[in-house]
Structure formats: structure tokens, C-alpha cells
Structure 1
Amino acid sequence: MSKYQRLKGRSFLAWVVLAALYGCAALERPESAVSDRVFPRVLQAGDVLDLHTGTKLSFEELIRALETVRIVYVGEVHAREADHEVQQRIVEGLWKAGKRIGIGVEMLPRTVQAPLDLWVRGTVDEAEFLEAVGWERHWGFPFEAYRPVFVFAREKNIPMRALNAPPAVARKVAHHGLEALAEEERRQIARHFFMDDAAHRAYIQEEFKAHVPGGIKDFETFYQAQLVWDETMAESLAVWLVQEPLDQVVVLAGKAHVNQRFGIPERVRRRLEHRYAVVVPAAVNEAPEQVTAEVGDYLVVTAAEKPAPGHGKRLGVLLDKNPEGRGLRVRQVVPGSRAEKAGFLAGDLIVAADGDPVSDVSDLHRRFQSPQDAVVFTVDREGRVMEIRVDFGR
């Protein structure tokens, strides 16, 4: 029997166990998750707070508290270095505590699990790994921010799991709905979708109001696309917990997927009863004292954040390659970023930078390495060509 046949058998067993457990997990949120108490506090960078009791903890005490749960979610703003540093400290702290841990990542679709396994085993170098998983195509944010955790996992042989759905499938759902997926595409995402969480639907409704349509059919398809991310990551985690003899898993994902718990965390618990904790990094100049137990379980206060996320020469956009070959499509604009201030919108097609054609993210990276303080982007917005100037010298 080949290793692939053995893996297929293990996956089938995991699905059987999950199916048996599906109706057993409580659907209400944990009692601790609905606390609305606000504690008077003055916080500074480096503080750690138990959001249920208002007690300040050392980072070591935080690690000891996190040792008691099966999944630790550490949210991030993708372009924020401080959030990645918190994630790294938690991963290293739990590993040093002697836990058999795994690391689940939003950044990669589960279709690239094989090259991720090769990375952890040390059989491919970084360039080969990034090419094999299509990092620029699937994610777009610089690997440099994630390298410390990936390298630590490789050095310590910590299992990693690609959790997400393929971006192209999610985009197709946003444009046409779940019913438009081909059978093969449907197999690449979660089997079950829970669409009855009113709080989550209301949250996504606010996101939809601020979103440029860009070919999206309506709110329902937009909501289905968001669930493609959350449900697929939740399903991937639940299957992994059944398959692997791990003490706990640390999940690295965007804050929108983990804060308030109605994204990934509760969708995993619907599939498999367990205890989890949500860690919320928040900059000291972004009112961390207003973060309550509705948002997460533990608050880690980080240093003051610059007004525009995406510091250095980062533009502040999430990009996809255009399947038609011309330009890069703006999937998302980071709030407060240079891109937002300059007028970029989700759905824009960047076709040139300072007159040079753009077809790959590396084209932009090379442009940003040059010494000029401003770049003029040529953008195709639903057939209307315009120029957008972005000042990188401020």
C-alpha cells in the first residue's frame, strides 16, 4: 500500500469520526465568551491581560494558561510585524513547555499540503518551497513576515497544516454562488456550511457595505465566499485534530477570522467539541483598553503602530494574478494603508507602474526597491483607465 493510499484511508477515518461527532457538539458559545464586563485599566506595550478577569499576566503566565486548551488562535493584521512577533513567541513558548504542537496557517490552501510537508521535513529550500506552494499567487504578503515561524517549525520538526480554500474557488463563489462550482471545485472546500449565525452575518454585512462589487453578484454570494474561507479552515482543523496525536494546535489567521469567535473557532467546535482560546494582539495607540471578552480571551498589547499599515514601501493591497495574463487584480485594500489613501479600490487591475507593464508581484517588488519616493500606477477600473500616484516617501 502506498503512502498516499494510507493517507487516503486515514482521511476517510477522520471523516467518519467527524460525522459521528457532528450532532454532539454544543452549538451555543462557551459561557466565558459572552462576558461583557469592562475593567478599568491603563495599558502599555508589553502588557498581557486576561479579558475575563481583568488580571494582568506575564507572558510566561499567558503560556501556562494557553497550555490548557486544544487550539490557540492568534489573530493578525497581515502587514503588521508586531502581530507576527506575538504569534512567534506563543509558538516558541508552547513548544518549550514540552507540548506536542502543530501550526495551522490561513496563508496556504489545503491543496498545497504536500510541499508544506516537504518544507517541514527540510527536503526543499526556501525558493523551491515558495514556488511549489505558489506563495505570491495564493497569499501575496511578503514571506519575510512569516519566515521566523516557518523556519522554527522546520528546525523543530513541528507539523504544519495548510488550512484554507483555493482563492480562485472563493472568487468564483463570490461572483456566482456555491451552486456554480464544478464537482472538483466543490471537493476543494468544506462539505458543510453553517449560515445561521446572525452575529457573523451582520459583521459580514458591514464588510459588504464597504466593498467594491468587482463582479460580485450580491450579498448572499459575498457571504458564501466568506464562509468558504472560514468553514474550509474550520473543517481542515477538525480533521487534523482527529488525524494527528497533537496536544494542541496554534492557528495563525487574520483577526477577522478569529476575533469574536464566530469565524473559525466556533465553526471548529461545531464539528468537534474542545476547548480553545483566542489571543488578540492590539497596538497601544489603538485603544486596547476597549477590547473585551466578546472579542477574545487574552489581550497582548504591542508597541504603537504607525498610522498607515504597510510601513516601509508597502502599498497595502492583497493582489491576485489576472487569469487573462494582464496585470494584477486588487483583491483587498488594507484599511488606512497608502493604497486606500491614494484611492485604490478592490477590483482594480494594476497594469503598469511608472509605465512599465506589471504581470507579477515580483514586478512591483523590483519597482519598490528603487530609490524614488513616488510611483504612478496605471489602473484599469472596469474598463476605465486611470493613473494613481502613491507617495512612499512619507
Structure 2
Amino acid sequence: MAVLALAVGCAGMNQTPPRALAPGDYLAPPDPRPLSQEELTRRLTQARVVLVGERHDHPGHHAVQLRVLKLMAAQGPLVVGVEWLQQDAQTACDALSAGKITLEEFHAQVKWDQSWGFPWKMVAPIFAEVRAKGLILVALNAPQGVVRQVAAGGLKSLTPEQRASIAPSLNLDDPAYREKVARQFAFHGVKDPQAQENFFAAQVVRDETMAHNLSLRLDPWPDGGKRGLVLAGAGHLAGDMGLPPRIARRLPGAAPLIILPVSAQGAQAMVMAAKNAPANLLAVSTPAPPPPPRLGLLLGVENGGLVVKRIIPGSPAQKAGVLPGDLLLAVDEKPLTSPKGIHDAIKAAPFAPHTYLLERDGRRLNLTIALPKPGTAQPAKPVN
């Protein structure tokens, strides 16, 4: 027995330690070993519906999505649904799938910069693959105007026409998802219960409508022979919340396979906490790019402008003198009707000075803010 114990101990000592994880590795928690290409392909082949998450501005995450798309496209008919496009872009999607329009024409027809706004170059290879392989492309998202209306006034505020533009079936009985939204609101300092309920309903509208639009293209299910790939923000794919249960409700037996792109360190941590792993597979991506410059404001749409609900401590906005309750009316003399106006101005000139027209205590003032480049101080000056 002692000899056996010694032999086992020596064998353990001689085992080669696992190599460090690298971009391109895939893991299936709780197993810390990367999957082989054959095993990854096998798992994708077995899945009828695959969901791949993303951080919208992370090129490495979109590279993961492209790899999964190529592997699945080689296995048979594939429906590719994307969160990035609202359902009114479906005509352009059909034209791209049929090879009737170029990528440049598609970019223009879907009004990419206005409707989504994240860098086109990150996802252009995905759309190019769709066009080259003739894959079925589906614009999954609900109309943005309807989602905003629900967030502002709840489902009861929708007109019959607006209600008909989203999923017929909306399951609002989701305590875990509701609690997640409540935590997000608490973090941002918003305590109004009705505002929380409306925002929760808006999130459900998006998830249910995306699941509905996917299911329409996979009909008849399960006998149609098509498989589905969904590319969407990681927040829509979390565990038993968001998209997975809503897809499973419409496509019985689908058992969506969830793939989450993560850093090498994140993958290791999630494997160690296997019981709480947020996905079936973890895809190690390239490192995250630097975060985009931000003012540091939580805004609400009120009174013909954007009201400052909360300011992140130490942010450029706080250092410049912006106060909670300020009403932002314009940036660089362009009226503000949504936060996108600020995003567009900063995107066009990230570190240039931008002039914001504010209303405070009944008087108006201009505040010029230039977001600092890394390692520089922030200039800001109020102008009467």
C-alpha cells in the first residue's frame, strides 16, 4: 500500500501544469482545460440555437462571434440574428443575404451610425461573411422609439399600433430579472418604483421581441432544419434571465448554448466558481480596448432637454461644475433630445472642447468641457 501511495504521489508530481489561457481558447466550466477544435465544433454541431455575447465596443468579442459564425455556417442552414439592428431594417438584411447590395449600401440603408453607432469596422467582417455565404440575417431588436416610450410611460402608454410592433407575448413574471434591474437603478441613485417598473418592462420588450423575431425565422420548429445564432450584448444572455428563457419558451427543446467572451483572468475566475458560471462556454478574447471618454453623467429626458440625475464622482462633468438637477439643452449649439446627441458630439471629436448649454435655477449658462486625454489635466470653464 505504501508503494502504491508513493507511485501515485510521484505521478502527481510529474504532471505537466496546465498552460496559461490565451485568446482563442474555449472552456466548458468547470473543466479548466481548453477545448480542442474538434470538441468545440462538436458542441456547436449539437446545438440548435447558440447565443454569443459581447461588449458592444470590444473588437475581441466580435472576433469571437465571427469565429463561431464561420464554424456554424459550415454545418448547414443558419439564421443569424443581431441585436444591433431594429426590425425595420429587415428589408436591407434580406437584400444583403441575397447578395443584392454591397456592404457600403447596407451600411447606408440601415443608418448604422444613427441607429446603433458603435464602430462599423468591428462588425463589418460578420456582415461580409453573411453576404458571402448567403446566410439568413435577422434584425432582432424592437423599434427604439417604442422601447423608449415604454421606459418613459410603461406598456399602458403604447398606442395599438406601437403595441403591435413588439412581441405579442410578454412575460413580466421574472422576479430575478426584476431584482437585477432594481439593483441597477439603486446603483444609479434612482429610487422611483414606477420608473424601475417601466425600465424593467422596456428591457422585457426588447428581449421578448428579439426572441419572437428569431423564432419567426426558425419556423417551422423543430422540423425546419435551420439553426440559430444570436449576437447580442452579454447582459441579454445572463443565466436564466434575458433572452435564453424567452427563446426556449418559443422554441421547445432548443436549450440555447450560451457563449460568453471573457478575458483570460475572467475565464479562470469563472471556472473556479463553476456553479455560478454565466455561460455554457467561455471564449477567451483579446484584451479589452481602453474605455471611451465619458462625461460621467446619468441623464433623464425631461422638460425639453436632458436632466442630470446623478454625477459620477471625479468625472469630467463633476470637475467642470455640472450639478444634479441641471438641464442640458444643447451641445455645440445643437439641441439635445436624447443622450445620443452628446455621444455623437464626443465621438466626432473625443478630446476637443464642447460647449454645453445648461439651465440652472431659471438661468442659462454655457459650460465648455474638453475630455482629458490619458495623463492630462482637464480644462473646463464656465462662460456667462
TM-score range, shorter chain: 0.7 to 0.9
- Structure 1 letter corresponding to 2:257: A
Query: CA separation of 1:379/1:135 partners in 2, compared to 1, >3 Å: closer, same or farther?
Result: farther
Q: What is aligned with 2:201? A: 224
Q: CA deviation at 1:315?
A: 5.2
Query: Is 1:101 the equivalent of 2:78?
Result: yes
- Report the secondary structure of 2:42's partner residue: helix
Q: What is aligned with 2:243? A: 264
Q: How does 1:1-394 map to 2 (within 5 A)?
A: 44-46=21-23, 47-96=25-74, 98-211=75-188, 217-243=194-220, 245-273=224-252, 274-286=254-266, 288-290=268-270, 292=274, 294-306=277-289, 308-310=290-292, 351-352=330-331, 355=332, 357=334, 373-378=351-356, 380=358, 386-393=367-374
- Which 5+ residue runs of structure 1 have no aligned equivalent? 1-39
Detail structure 1 runs of 4+ shifted over 6 Å in the superposition.
326-330, 337-345, 358-367, 381-384
Q: CA deviation at 1:188?
A: 0.9
Q: Conserved in 2, the CA contact under 8 Å of 1:80 and 1:309? A: no
- Structure 2 letter corresponding to 1:82: G
Query: CA separation of 1:45/1:159 partners in 2, compared to 1, >3 Å: closer, same or farther?
Result: same
Q: CA deviation at 1:64?
A: 2.0
Separation in 1, partners of 2:323, 2:234: 22
Moved more, 229-238 or 372-381: 372-381
Which is greater in Rg?
2
Query: CA separation of 1:107/1:127 partners in 2, compared to 1, >3 Å: closer, same or farther?
Result: same
Query: CA separation of 1:241/1:123 partners in 2, compared to 1, >3 Å: closer, same or farther?
Result: same
CA deviation profile, 1:28-84 (whole Å, cap 9, x unmatched) = xxxxxxxxxxxx988522332112544420344212211101111000000011100
Q: Conserved in 1, the CA contact under 8 Å of 2:142 and 2:206? A: yes
Q: Conserved in 2, the CA contact under 8 Å of 1:173 and 1:224? A: yes
Q: CA deviation at 1:379?
A: 5.9
- Report the secondary structure of 1:205's partner residue: helix
Separation in 1, partners of 2:117, 2:359: 21
Q: Conserved in 2, the CA contact under 8 Å of 1:174 and 1:224? A: yes
Separation in 1, partners of 2:174, 2:249: 12
Moved more, 228-237 or 56-65: 56-65
Separation in 2, partners of 1:286, 1:381: 44
Q: CA deviation at 1:252?
A: 0.3
Separation in 2, partners of 1:298, 1:255: 13
CA deviation profile, 1:288-317 (whole Å, cap 9, x unmatched) = 4235454110011123324x433xxx6599
Q: What is aligned with 1:5? A: none
Separation in 2, partners of 1:56, 1:150: 28
Q: CA deviation at 1:267?
A: 0.8
Q: Conserved in 2, the CA contact under 8 Å of 1:261 and 1:296? A: no
Separation in 2, partners of 1:277, 1:207: 26
Query: CA separation of 1:369/1:271 partners in 2, compared to 1, >3 Å: closer, same or farther?
Result: closer
Q: Conserved in 2, the CA contact under 8 Å of 1:375 and 1:391? A: no
TM-score by length of 2: 0.74
Separation in 2, partners of 1:155, 1:41: 39
- Structure 1 letter corresponding to 2:210: M
- Report the secondary structure of 1:56's partner residue: coil
Between the two proteins, what is the percent identity of the paired residues? 31
Q: Conserved in 1, the CA contact under 8 Å of 2:22 and 2:264? A: yes
Q: CA deviation at 1:261?
A: 3.6
Q: CA deviation at 1:378?
A: 1.9
Query: CA separation of 1:151/1:392 partners in 2, compared to 1, >3 Å: closer, same or farther?
Result: farther
Separation in 2, partners of 1:138, 1:214: 30
Q: Conserved in 2, the CA contact under 8 Å of 1:259 and 1:280? A: no
Q: What is aligned with 1:24? A: none
Separation in 2, partners of 1:181, 1:108: 21
